[in-house]
């Protein structure tokens, strides 16, 4: 059985979790087994996990899951995996999923691969594909143990409806006492799709000259229902919040559309965004290295080009 | 306080990546290796800052052969007190974490630092595996760490669209992200004293890795960029909808 750990946010299943479930479903198909989901806490839309391939949702809503403690969650997920005799455990490669994977794998004596971008190849073993060397290369890794743990990079596969609403079953678990205390959670904009899950991203660099000029970036993001991001010097200078910083030292993303505005395209920036499906680069310097990685390039002054693009998209939507 | 920083070796960020004949290993000719930036800039420097304020020691721990000693010496030059090298090739996250945890179990450390991930295999798995084997709390992607008393810390942790503030008692495992400290360049005195600081070689435990690398590939070459007239953004909007199908 393939068991998928489902992450929630504000009482709802996260988009990353739907992808993980669909990944689990495709993996289960290959292995000739079923895909089931594990929900720790509550989600009002948990039955919808069935649409993406979970035949059953196991739930435990102990108070211990109200905040994230890596030890408590890892122990619970490993315990559930043992109890339900799961052979593959799938996680989202989110900040919590990344923290959990090593811990769960150790507890299950399992081999693990994080940030998978494709369903496993099971022709000869169980081989998982991921980006390495800051997305300059790909690697296929064979997991040699009976139990396997995989985390799925956001936006790696297009999810499809393959089933109907799933039944929810309560699962008894011994929940550990927390080893940490979460004092506060500061979410900056809760109505915006978080960067790792965003399908469209509009990103600004030093070419914008200062934080006061971000209006045009935000307006473009608005008409595209996109999430905003930035290059490292921009967050270093506090023009934009730190969590918007993408690249090697920031976060790695792979949206369907990445629009880079006034960003030169340094190799460390590309490391975080090069896997985007479509890249648009707006830069006044025709020699900017970013154009080499772009699908569409606009050589021009961003202060002129960006508002025009926003208008054009508004017209298209009208 | 007794602090431990796990350091790894990675190709320089600008290195051009190629693989050996059967694509199982990185072609190392012509590549400059560095200390993984998260380990060096954030984890190590933060540990040194804590030691400067609270006293104690900063040990660094590395899994790898003796040819990696220059990276360990650099950590000593930046300010670590002493170093341990587990004398075996690093082959996977599970193997490295197992070797390090087995070592740590023989010693008592108050805080065990890793970087948030390595910039080669980008796994982010070692910290969690260490914490599991040591049965300690693990706080990942920490951008701030404040020591309140010798056995209590406040940590800020990055997550999607925000941060969490966490209180934790020592001992614990923490993975360091940007923001935790500022890079320090070793000075001449540091480089000189590093030569005489203890670098202990530790015999590895028997272990076989739970994964194996089948092959590496270079990503398919990207199609040449299509340039759009800056006066014709309607055309770009149309292409994004009709050709790329992304809006
Ligand atoms: C180890 C390491 C890790 C790093 N990690 C990261 C990382 O994670 N993320 C990251 O982003 N960087 C990272 N960097 C920094 C990186 O090398 C670059 O310095 C950085 O990405 C440059 O940011 P930028 O493109 O915004 O600024 P710049 O390089 O200054 O580029 C600004 C661009 O804007 C253009 N421009 C200016 N005015 C206009 C205008 N009016 N109209 C149109 N275009 C205009 C310019 O032509 C230029 O191309 C890292 C560096 C190192 C050494």
Res. A28: pLDDT tops 90 = yes
pLDDT-based confidence at residue A184 (cuts at 50, 70, 90): very high
Residue matched to tokens 């969490």: B164
Closest CA to A141 of B209, B246, B59: B209
Is residue A128 domain-shared with residue A210, that is, in the same domain? Answer: no
Is the residue at A90 inside a domain? yes
Is residue A164 domain-shared with residue A230, that is, in the same domain? Answer: no
CA pair distance B234, B231, nearest whole angstrom: 9
Is residue A233 domain-shared with residue A89, that is, in the same domain? Answer: no
Q: A233 C-alpha to center of ligand 1: Å? A: 7
What is the rounded (10 degree) CA torsion for B159, A233, B185, B197?
Answer: 20
Res. A312: pLDDT tops 70 = yes
Alpha helices (H) along A156-297? 215-224, 232-236, 267-273
Is residue A307 domain-shared with residue A211, that is, in the same domain? Answer: yes
β-strand partners of A204: A230, A261
Residue nearest ligand 1's atom 1 by CA: B13
Is the residue at A37 inside a domain? yes
Res. B156: pLDDT tops 80 = yes
Q: A228 C-alpha to center of ligand 1: Å? A: 16
Phi, psi of A209 (to 5 degrees): 75, -30
The reply to whether B210 touches chain A by the CB within 8 Å rule is: yes
Does residue B13 line the site of ligand 1, with CB under 6 A? yes
DSSP output for A122-151: -TTS-EEEEEETTTTEEEEEEE-SSSEEEE
Tokens of A236: 């270093």
Is the residue at A46 inside a domain? yes
Minimal Cβ distance to B93: which of A70, A74, A102: A102
The reply to whether A92 touches chain B by the CB within 8 Å rule is: no
pLDDT-based confidence at residue B73 (cuts at 50, 70, 90): very high
CA pair distance B157, A9, nearest whole angstrom: 17
pLDDT-based confidence at residue A190 (cuts at 50, 70, 90): low
End-to-end CA distance of chain A: 48
Is residue A135 domain-shared with residue A250, that is, in the same domain? Answer: no
Contacts with A123 (C-beta within 8 Å, 6 or more apart), sequence order:
none
Q: Which of A90-94, A131-135, A265-269, B158-162 has the lowest mean pLDDT?
A: B158-162
Taking an 8 Å cut-off on Cβ atoms, the answer to whether A100 and B136 are in contact is: no
Taking an 8 Å cut-off on Cβ atoms, the answer to whether A69 and B161 are in contact is: no
CB-based contact A143:A112 (threshold 8 Å): yes
Interface of B with A in 6-25 (CB under 8 A): 11, 13-15, 17, 19
Is the residue at A252 inside a domain? yes
pLDDT at site A251: 87
The reply to whether B172 touches chain A by the CB within 8 Å rule is: yes
pTM of the complete model: 0.92
Collapsed DSSP state (helix, strand, coil) of residue B127: helix
State which of A109, A136, A170 marks the end of a domain: A170
Return mean pLDDT, chain B: 95
Tokens of B37: 């930036």
CA pair distance B189, A299, nearest whole angstrom: 49
Interface of B with A in 113-132 (CB under 8 A): 117, 119-132
CB-based contact A197:A14 (threshold 8 Å): yes
Is the residue at A289 inside a domain? yes
Q: Thinking of the domain B2-216, which architecture would CATH place it in?
A: 3-Layer(aba) Sandwich (3.40)
pLDDT at site B14: 85
Taking an 8 Å cut-off on Cβ atoms, the answer to whether B244 and A278 are in contact is: yes
Q: Which residue of B has its CA nearest to A221?
A: B247
pLDDT at site A189: 66
Contacts with A264 (C-beta within 8 Å, 6 or more apart), sequence order:
A205, A206, A207, A283, A285, A288, A289, A290
Arithmetic mean of pLDDT, A79-85 = 98
Interface of A with B in 198-237 (CB under 8 A): 199-200, 224
CA pair distance A64, A72, nearest whole angstrom: 8
Q: A124 C-alpha to center of ligand 1: Å? A: 43
Arithmetic mean of pLDDT, B137-165 = 94
pLDDT exceeding 70 applies to what percent of chain B? 100
Q: Give CA angle at A253 (B123, B214), nearest 5°.
A: 40
CATH of the domain at A216: 3.40.50.1220
Per-domain boundaries in chain B: 2-216
A contacts of B230 (beta carbons < 8 Å): 298-301, 304-305, 308
Atom index in ligand 1 nearest the CA of residue A233 equals 23
CA pair distance B39, B176, nearest whole angstrom: 7
Q: Which residue of A has its CA nearest to B25?
A: A139
The reply to whether B242 touches chain A by the CB within 8 Å rule is: no
Interface of A with B in 28-67 (CB under 8 A): none
CA pair distance B237, B242, nearest whole angstrom: 9
pLDDT at site B31: 93
Res. B123: pLDDT tops 90 = no
Arithmetic mean of pLDDT, A160-174 = 97
Res. A135: pLDDT tops 90 = no
Which of A268, A273, A290, A291, when mutated, tests ligand 1's pocket best, judged by the most ligand atoms within 8 Å of its CB?
Answer: A268
β-strand partners of B227: A297
β-strand partners of B10: B34
The reply to whether A68 touches chain B by the CB within 8 Å rule is: yes
Question: What is the tens place of the pLDDT at every residue in A271-310?
Answer: 999 989 999 999 999 999 999 999 999 999 999 999 999 9
Q: Give CA angle at A118 (B224, A108), nearest 5°.
A: 145
Arithmetic mean of pLDDT, A157-177 = 96
CA pair distance A278, A292, nearest whole angstrom: 13
A28, A151, B159, B208 from A122: Cα distances, Å: 11, 17, 33, 22
pLDDT exceeding 70 applies to what percent of chain A? 99
State which of A153, A170, A187 marks the end of a domain: A170
Phi, psi of A284 (to 5 degrees): -80, -15
Arithmetic mean of pLDDT, A98-109 = 98
pLDDT at site B13: 84
Q: Domain of residue A249: give its range.
A: 195-317
CB-based contact A199:A205 (threshold 8 Å): no
The reply to whether A292 touches chain B by the CB within 8 Å rule is: yes
Res. A130: pLDDT tops 80 = yes
Is the residue at A23 inside a domain? yes
CA pair distance A232, A249, nearest whole angstrom: 8
Tokens of A290: 């970013």
Q: How far does the CA of residue A46 sit from the closest CA of chain B (Å)?
A: 21
Local structure of residue B79 (DSSP, 8 states):
T
CA pair distance A11, A14, nearest whole angstrom: 9
Question: What is the tens place of the pLDDT at every residue in B179-238?
Answer: 999 999 999 999 999 999 999 999 999 999 999 999 999 988 878 999 999 999 999 999
Residue matched to tokens 């073993």: A125
CATH of the domain at A8: 3.40.50.620
Q: Which residue of A has its CA nearest to B226?
A: A296
The reply to whether A245 touches chain B by the CB within 8 Å rule is: yes
Q: A138 C-alpha to center of ligand 1: Å? A: 25
């Amino acid at each position: 059985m393939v068991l998928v750990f489902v992450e929630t946010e504000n009482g709802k299943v996260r988009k990353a979790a739907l992808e993980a479930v669909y990944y689990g479903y495709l993996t289960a198909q290959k292995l000739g087994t079923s895909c089931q989901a594990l929900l720790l806490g509550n989600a009002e839309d948990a039955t919808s996990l069935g649409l993406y391939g979970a035949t059953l949702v196991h739930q435990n809503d102990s108070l211990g899951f109200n905040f994230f403690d890596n030890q408590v969650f890892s122990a619970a997920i490993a315990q559930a995996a043992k109890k339900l005799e799961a052979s593959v455990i799938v996680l989202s490669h989110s900040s919590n999923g990344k923290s959990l994977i090593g811990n769960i794998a150790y507890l299950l004596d399992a081999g693990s691969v994080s940030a998978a971008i494709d369903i496993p190849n099971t022709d000869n073993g169980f081989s998982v594909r991921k980006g390495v060397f800051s997305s300059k290369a790909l690697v296929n890794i064979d997991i040699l143990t009976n139990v396997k743990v995989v985390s799925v990079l956001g936006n790696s596969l297009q999810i499809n409806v393959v089933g109907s609403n799933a039944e929810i079953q309560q699962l008894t678990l011994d929940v550990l006492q927390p080893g940490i205390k979460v004092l506060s959670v500061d979410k900056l904009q809760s109505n915006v799709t978080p960067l790792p899950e965003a399908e469209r991203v509009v990103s600004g660099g030093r070419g914008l000259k200062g934080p006061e000029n971000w209006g045009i970036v935000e307006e473009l993001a608005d008409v595209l229902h996109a999430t905003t991001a930035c290059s490292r010097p921009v967050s270093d200078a506090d023009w934009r919040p730190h969590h918007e910083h993408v690249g090697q030292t920031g976060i790695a993303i792979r949206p369907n559309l990445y629009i880079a505005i006034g960003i030169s395209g340094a190799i460390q920036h590309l490391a975080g965004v090069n896997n985007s499906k479509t890249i648009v680069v707006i830069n006044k310097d025709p020699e900017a290295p970013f154009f080499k990685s772009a699908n569409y390039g606009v050589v021009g002054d961003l202060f002129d080009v960006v508002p025009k693009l926003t208008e054009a998209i508004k017209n298209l939507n009208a | 306080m007794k602090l431990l920083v796990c350091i790894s070796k990675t190709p320089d960020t600008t290195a051009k990546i190629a693989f050996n004949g059967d694509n199982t290993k990185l072609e190392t000719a012509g590549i400059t290796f560095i200390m993984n930036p998260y380990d060096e800039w954030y984890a190590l420097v933060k540990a040194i800052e804590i030691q400067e304020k609270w006293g104690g020691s900063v040990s660094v721990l590395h899994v790898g052969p003796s040819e990696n000693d220059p990276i360990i010496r650099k950590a000593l030059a930046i300010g670590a007190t002493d170093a341990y090298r587990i004398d075996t090739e690093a082959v996977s996250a599970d193997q490295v974490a197992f070797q390090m945890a087995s070592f740590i179990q023989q010693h008592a450390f108050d805080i065990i630092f890793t970087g948030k991930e390595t910039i080669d295999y980008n796994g982010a798995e070692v910290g969690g595996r260490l914490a599991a084997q040591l049965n300690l709390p693990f706080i990942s992607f920490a951008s701030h760490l404040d020591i309140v008393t010798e056995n209590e810390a406040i940590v800020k942790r990055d997550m999607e669209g925000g941060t969490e503030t966490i209180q934790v008692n020592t001992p614990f495992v923490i993975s360091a992200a940007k923001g935790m400290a500022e890079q320090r360049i070793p000075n001449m005195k540091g480089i000189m004293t590093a030569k005489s600081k203890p670098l202990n070689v530790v015999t590895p435990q028997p272990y076989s890795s739970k994964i194996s690398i089948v092959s590496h590939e270079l990503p398919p070459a990207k199609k040449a960029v299509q340039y759009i007239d800056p006066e014709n953004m309607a055309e770009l909007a149309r292409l994004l909808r009709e050709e790329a199908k992304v809006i």
